[in-house]
Amino acid sequence: MRVKDSKGSERLILKGITGYCQPRHMLAIMGPSGCGKSTLLDTLAGRLASSAESDGEIRVNGHNTGSLSYGKSAYVTQDEMLAGTLTVEETLLFAARLRLPVATDKMAIVDSVIQELGLESVRYTYVGNWHLRGISGGQRRRVAIGCELVTSPTLLFLDEPTSGLDSAAAYHVMASVRKLTEGCRTIITVIHQPASETFELFDKLLLLAAGDTVYFGDALKAEDMFAAAQLAVPSSRSAPDHFLHCINRDFQSETHDVERNIARLVATFRDSKIAEATKATVTEFHANPGEVYHVEKTAPSFFTQTGILTWRTLINNWRNVGTSQYLVVVVVVVVPHGTSLYSRSPHPSNPPFVGLFWMRLAMYIVLCLAIGFIYFQLGTSWKDVFSRAALLFFVVAFLTFMAIAGFPAFVDEMKIYLRERLNGYYSPMVFTLSNTFASLPFIWVIACVSTVCVYFIAGLSNDGGDVICGYCELYAHERAITRSLTYANSLIDAHSPSLTPLHCQTSFSISSPASPSSSPS
C-alpha cells in the first residue's frame, strides 16, 4: 500500500478498505473532509487522476471488469453542470436522445424519470443559471441524477448529492435516491452531515478516518460498535453527528482525544465480528461470481448524436443570456425577446429573456452604424483612400474582437461537455462538430446585418475585384487548424478526469455485485 504524490513523496490516502454493496442497497461513505471518501468514490468509478495508482481490486459480480468510467456506470458529480437555459423536461429529453437508440420512446422514459424523482411540478421550468431564475438546489441535484437515470443504469455513484442543501431538501433528495434502489439498482454515495432521518435511509455505512476503515457494515449497527469502543452515542446527539465528531481530527479538543478515538475505533472494528463477516462475504462473492457485468452500447449513430447536440447547442445559444443587463433595453427595441425555439408545452412560469446572441447582434448593429456614420459617404480623394483602408481594418479587427463576448458561454459549455464526456454521452468529435454547426447560422446573420449597416452608409465601392473565393480556402485551413486544436484539447481534458488536484495511490478492494439479472427482482 504505497502512495506517491505529484512531488514524488509517498502518501497514503486509503488503507486497505474492504467492502461490498449489493443490488437494492445504498452504501453511504462518510467521514470528515480529507479522509479520502471522494478518492474512494473516484477510484470505484474509474475516475482517479492518471497520476494516482491504486493496487486494490474492484470486482463487479465477482469479475474484474476494468474501469467503470465513460458510461459503464452513472456518476453524478458534486457541482452539477447543467445547461441553465433548458427546461427540466428538455434537459432530460436531450440526455435520453443523446444516449438511447432512435427508436426508443424517450418521452415515456423521461416521464417515468420525472415521476421517480418527484420533479413533476418543475417540469416546464428552466433549470436556471446565474441570471435566469430557475429551480431550487435540491431540484437541480435531482435533475442531474435524472440525466443519468434515463439509460436506467444499475450502478450509480453519487458524490455528495446533498452538499449545500438544508436538511429537509437533503432528505427529499436522498429519499428519492433511496426509492431508486427499488428498481434493483446499486447506489454508492458519498455524503457528509446527514440528518438522522436521512441516515436511516442507508443500508450500509462505510466510515473513514484518514484512510482507515472505522466502520463498514449495516448502517444501523454502527452505534453498537461505537458503544463497544466506549464511545456510545449520547442521547443529546444524533448518531451520524456523533460518528463524525469522534473522528474529525481537524479540530482537537481537550475533552476529545481524537487520535486515540480513531485508533481505538479502528482496532475495535478490525477485531469485530462485523469485519470478519465482511471478509467472508467478499470471499464468497469472489468464489461464486455472477454474470459478467456489462453495459450495452445504446447510443445512436455518430450523425444522429451530432444532429441532436447541434440542436441543443442552438437552443442554448439562442436563449443564453448576455453579459450586460444594462443594454437589454437596446435589444428589446431591436428584436422580439424570449422566443422559444423548441417546446412541447408553454412555459407559463418563466419570464421573457434576451439571448446572448441577440445582445451580440445589437452590439454589432450599433457598432456598424457608428462606423458607417463616422466614415459617411467616402469619396475618392487620397484622404478617403486612407479612410477606406482604416474602415476595412476596423471591420476586420473589432468586429471579430467582439467574439470574446462569447467566451464565458464557451467555458460553461466546456464544463457541461466534460461531465457528459465522462459519463459516456458522446465523443469529442461530436462535441466539436455540433458546436461548429450550431454557431454558423448566428454568425451568418451577424455578418449580413453588419454588412448592410456599414456598406451603404459609408459608401463602399461595389466594383472591386472578385477575389474572395481564393481567400475562403485560406480560411478553411485556418479554421480546420483551430478546430482540430479544440478537438485535441477536449481529448486531453477528457483523459484527466479527476477534477480534484489529488495525486495519490490508493489501495482497497470492494466487490459490488450489481447486475439485476443475477438477482431476483
List contacts with other proteins (CB under 8 A): 379-385, 388-390, 392-393, 395-397, 399-401, 403-404, 406-408, 410-411, 413-414, 435-436, 439-440, 443-444, 446-448, 450-451, 455, 460-468, 471-472, 474-475, 478-479, 482-483, 485-486, 489-490, 492-493
Q: Rounded to whole angstroms, what are the CA distances from 420 to 358, 481, 502?
A: 28, 25, 21
User: Least Å distance between CB 466 and other proteins?
Assistant: 6
User: Least Å distance between CB 414 and other proteins?
Assistant: 5
User: Least Å distance between CB 112 and other proteins?
Assistant: 36
Per DSSP, what are the bridge partners of residue 63? Answer: 60
Q: What is the rounded CA–CA span in Å between residue 199 and residue 209?
A: 18
Spatial strand order of the sheet with 26-30 comes to: 74-76, 155-159, 186-190, 26-30, 204-209, 212-218
User: Least Å distance between CB 266 and other proteins?
Assistant: 40
Question: 157 near 37, Cβ under 8 Å?
Answer: no
User: Least Å distance between CB 79 and other proteins?
Assistant: 13
What does the chain come to in residues?
521
Is the Cβ of residue 267 or residue 448 nearer to other proteins in the bound state?
Answer: 448
Is the Cβ of residue 345 or residue 461 nearer to other proteins in the bound state?
Answer: 461
Is the Cβ of residue 114 or residue 433 nearer to other proteins in the bound state?
Answer: 433
Q: Give CA torsion, residues 70, 73, 74, 75, to 10 deg.
A: -70
User: Least Å distance between CB 374 and other proteins?
Assistant: 16
Instruction: Give just the sign of the alpha carbon dihedral 220, 226, 227, 231.
Output: negative
DSSP-H helix ranges across 375-427: 382-401, 407-422
Is the Cβ of residue 103 or residue 404 nearer to other proteins in the bound state?
Answer: 404
Closest CA to 422 of 498, 484, 483: 498
Q: Residue 362: how many CB atoms within 10 A of its CB?
A: 22
Is the Cβ of residue 107 or residue 492 nearer to other proteins in the bound state?
Answer: 492
Q: What is the rounded CA–CA span in Å between residue 175 and residue 414?
A: 31
DSSP-H helix ranges across 1-68: 37-44
Is the Cβ of residue 175 or residue 390 nearer to other proteins in the bound state?
Answer: 390
Is the Cβ of residue 124 or residue 437 nearer to other proteins in the bound state?
Answer: 437
CA 15 to chain centre: 29
Is the Cβ of residue 159 or residue 413 nearer to other proteins in the bound state?
Answer: 413
User: Least Å distance between CB 71 and other proteins?
Assistant: 21
User: Least Å distance between CB 113 and other proteins?
Assistant: 31
